[in-house]
Amino acid sequence: MKKVTQFLVFSSLFISMLLAHVSLSAQNIKPDADNAGLTLPKGFAALKVADNLGRTRHIVVNKQGAIYAKLERLDNGKGVLVLKDTDGDGRAETKTSFGNYIGTGIAIKGNYLYAASNKEVFKYALNDNGDVVDENAAATIVTGLIDKGQHNSKSITLDNAGNIYVNVGAPSNSCQEKDRTKGSMGMMPCPILDSAGGIWQFKVDQLNQSYASGVRYATGLRNVVGLDWNNQLNQLFVTQHGRDMLNNLFPDLYDTTTSAELPSETMYAIKKGDNAGWPYVYYDHIKGKKMMAPEYGGDGVKTVDDKYINPAMAFPAHMAPNGLLFYTGNQFPARYKNGAFIAFHGSWNRSPLPQEGYYVVFVPYENGKPTGKWEVFADGFSGKSVVKNPRDAQHRPCGLAEGPDGSLYISDDVKGTIYRIMYQK
Amino acid sequence: MQRIYLTFVVLFLFIAGVSAQTNNKLVAASFARGKTVYLQRCMVCHQADGGGVPKLNAPLDASTAVNGSDVAKLIKYIVKGFADRVEIDGELYSNVMPAAADLKDEQIADVLTFIRSHWSNKAGPVTKLQVKQTRSKLK
């Protein structure tokens, strides 16, 4: 009898372990019949984890599979959402919220959650279940960052040495004396770079840091929204939104087509002290050159060969790379491992040509370097075959996160949809 | 007497008709010139459909201010630009509106005439004189 009981206990334990495993595995989660409206490479499937959440910007998934999403507009007075899938079907059944500030950046490192407003970075302790211990006990680790409306979102990522990296976007298009005003020339040197237009580094274990106590880790970056720490290379990577309106500001030098196609959107591998050259230069991926900006004497022909770093990758203009994620999971086929996913929010600066972007791309890496090629990975967010006007897009990809099982999560900040992409062969 | 009266009425209606027609033609010409200004100077931000860019550039189509009676305010936005962080029809827009002070009075009247009566907008035209008067007070 004792043996039978023992057998029953063990077998039920085994079965429940098996079930637990099954419920976590993407192989057994049923995707949406229409793949959540997305077009994906063969073998991939998608579902909507949650919908109509509001303006979900960046997202992060904890080890238990719960999603934290940062909101750009408060929902019932709260700015951080917590979504949980309680029955293992891949869809979120519960939604809670905390934090009375809007913002973009959110990240988890070790047992801490970090979330950014447009001026500050807050830190919350997580318990063993990956839940925030006390939602009202936010430690302010960074404060007083510039927020002048334009390019004010703060994105964050962390290294493995106790540092956090924060983007401070330049509240300007090209550092003209009069912003975005036809014919106005660039300020020399650009005074904005003292407190914006770069990446600042702070300590994770110190409170109330600001410009004086932080390090300007990299400069000459107009507006970075996607940034991620590459753990394989132990290096910071960022995606920059390139400048706007070459034709409107300097119609004698650039026609509307050139202005729609240039400058490149860029991804940089950053080392401490790097300068990417904004506002003095912009990158031209067609020529493969750094070009002197027209506000600083450029004419569409003059190049700048020294001083500034080259991008690791360049993309067509104005597509707005809002999310960057190095994929480290094992669920996707091997070629995706250690490559980069980039969420392109979609352009507005290309009219009268059709807009571009509104999709998630994959950048393959080989031996720690991008191969130079990129491919559209997930498309169909906008719900249109061609987006002529930005307000027509039904969804716009913004944030990226990797789940504990290697699923890729994508947020949309128009309607607040969270997508989950799985490989199911 | 009655005849003379009738002649006057007919004559009046004729003149009113002709001047309305002339006025329509003038407004149509202003609208056409305004479209050219719009394409060169406004469209990149406010878009071909006048819908702006969510969260960045305010829409002109169906905008309360654009369709409103305070034309002087619209003229001021074009001449002086607009950089205040205010809600427009319940939404914040983060890009600045640059000043287009190089535009002539007539060009400003034209582009406002175009904007106020294009897409779903149905507000009245703006005249060169209105722009001139408003502008002189701005300096």
Instruction: Among B52, B54, B99, select the one facing A181 at the smallest CB separation.
Output: B99
Q: What is the mean pLDDT of residues B66-89?
A: 93
Those of residues 13-32 in B touching chain A at CB distance below 8 A are none
CB contact under 8 A, B98 and A247: no
Which helix (H) or strand (E) element contains residue B112? helix B105-117
The pLDDT value given to residue A17? 46
Note whether B44 contacts A: Cβ–Cβ < 8 A: yes
For residues A184 and A209, give the distance between their C-alpha atoms in angstroms, rounded to a whole number.
Answer: 35
Note whether B59 contacts A: Cβ–Cβ < 8 A: yes
Note whether B69 contacts A: Cβ–Cβ < 8 A: no
Q: Which two tokens stand for residue A42?
A: 């063969």
Bridge partners (DSSP) of residue A163 are A203
Note whether B89 contacts A: Cβ–Cβ < 8 A: no
Q: How far is B119 from chain A (nearest CA, A)?
A: 13
Chain A: residue whose CA lies nearest to B97? A180
The pLDDT value given to residue B9? 72
ipTM over 0.90 threshold: no
Q: What would the DSSP string read from start to end of A247-314?
A: HHH-TTT--HHHHHH-S-EEEEEE-TTEE--TTTEEEETTTTEEEE-GGGT--SS-B--SSSPPPSEE
pLDDT per position as a tens digit, A66-125 = 999 999 999 999 999 999 999 999 999 999 999 999 999 999 999 999 999 999 999 999
For residues A375 and A387, give the distance between their C-alpha atoms in angstroms, rounded to a whole number.
Answer: 19
* Contacts by A334-341, CB closer than 8 A, 24 or more apart: A335/A364, A336/A362, A338/A230, A338/A232, A338/A365, A338/A368, A339/A363, A339/A364, A339/A365, A340/A228, A340/A237, A340/A267, A340/A313, A340/A365, A340/A370, A341/A377, A341/A400, A341/A408
Note whether A271 contacts B: Cβ–Cβ < 8 A: no
Q: Is the peptide bond before A279 cis (omega within 30 degrees of 0)?
A: yes
CB contact under 8 A, A178 and B56: no
The residues, ordered by sequence, that sit 6+ positions from A183 with a Cβ below 8 Å of its Cβ are A249, A250, B102
Q: How far is A270 from chain B (nearest CA, A)?
A: 28
The pLDDT value given to residue A18? 44
Q: How many residues does chain B have?
A: 139
Note whether B61 contacts A: Cβ–Cβ < 8 A: no
Instruction: Among A152, A178, A388, select the one facing B98 at the smallest CB separation.
Output: A178
Those of residues 98-137 in B touching chain A at CB distance below 8 A are 98-100, 102
The pLDDT value given to residue B18? 67
For residues A311 and B47, give the distance between their C-alpha atoms in angstroms, rounded to a whole number.
Answer: 30
Which helix (H) or strand (E) element contains residue A96? strand A94-98
Instruction: Among B48, B54, B96, select the one facing A388 at the smallest CB separation.
Output: B48
The pLDDT value given to residue A3? 57
Q: How many residues does chain A have?
A: 425
The pLDDT value given to residue A256? 93
- Residues of B within 8 A of A183 (CB-CB) are 102
CB contact under 8 A, A149 and B94: yes
Note whether B54 contacts A: Cβ–Cβ < 8 A: yes
Quick check: A374 and A362 in contact, CB under 8 A?
yes
Q: What does pLDDT average to over chain A? A: 94
Percent of chain A's residues with pLDDT above 90 = 92
The pLDDT value given to residue A339? 98
3-state helix, strand, coil split of chain B in percent (to 5) is: 60, 5, 35
CB contact under 8 A, A390 and B54: yes
Q: Which of B35, B37, B44 best probes binding to A when mutated, by most A CB atoms within 10 angstroms?
A: B44
Chain A: residue whose CA lies nearest to B82? A179
Q: Which two tokens stand for residue A220?
A: 């000459």
Closest CA to A157 of A325, A300, A295: A325
For residues A118 and A58, give the distance between their C-alpha atoms in angstroms, rounded to a whole number.
Answer: 13
The pLDDT value given to residue B1? 59
- Give the start-to-end residue ranges of the domains of chain B: 2-138
CATH architecture of B2-138: Orthogonal Bundle (1.10)
Note whether A150 contacts B: Cβ–Cβ < 8 A: yes
Instruction: Among A151, A349, A388, select the one facing B44 at the smallest CB separation.
Output: A349
- Residues of B within 8 A of A179 (CB-CB) are 83, 96, 98
pLDDT per position as a tens digit, A124-181 = 999 999 999 999 999 999 999 999 999 999 999 999 999 999 999 999 999 999 999 9
Instruction: Among A72, A245, A389, select the one facing B48 at the smallest CB separation.
Output: A389
The pLDDT value given to residue A16? 47
pLDDT per position as a tens digit, B106-139 = 999 999 999 999 999 999 999 999 999 999 999 7
Note whether B94 contacts A: Cβ–Cβ < 8 A: yes
Task: Give the pLDDT means over successive 10-residue stretches in chain A (425 positions).
Answer: 53 47 66 97 98 98 98 97 96 98 98 98 98 97 96 98 98 97 96 98 98 98 98 97 96 95 98 98 97 98 94 98 98 97 97 94 95 96 95 97 98 98 92
Size of interface A-B (CB pairs under 8 A): 69
Those of residues 316-355 in A touching chain B at CB distance below 8 A are 348-349, 351-352
The pLDDT value given to residue B88? 87
CB contact under 8 A, B94 and A251: no
Those of residues 359-388 in A touching chain B at CB distance below 8 A are 388
Domains of chain A plus CATH, in order, are 42-423 (2.120.10.30)
Note whether B56 contacts A: Cβ–Cβ < 8 A: yes
The pLDDT value given to residue A230? 98
First vs last Cα of chain A: how many Å apart? 45
CB contact under 8 A, A391 and B49: yes
Which helix (H) or strand (E) element contains residue B16? helix B2-41
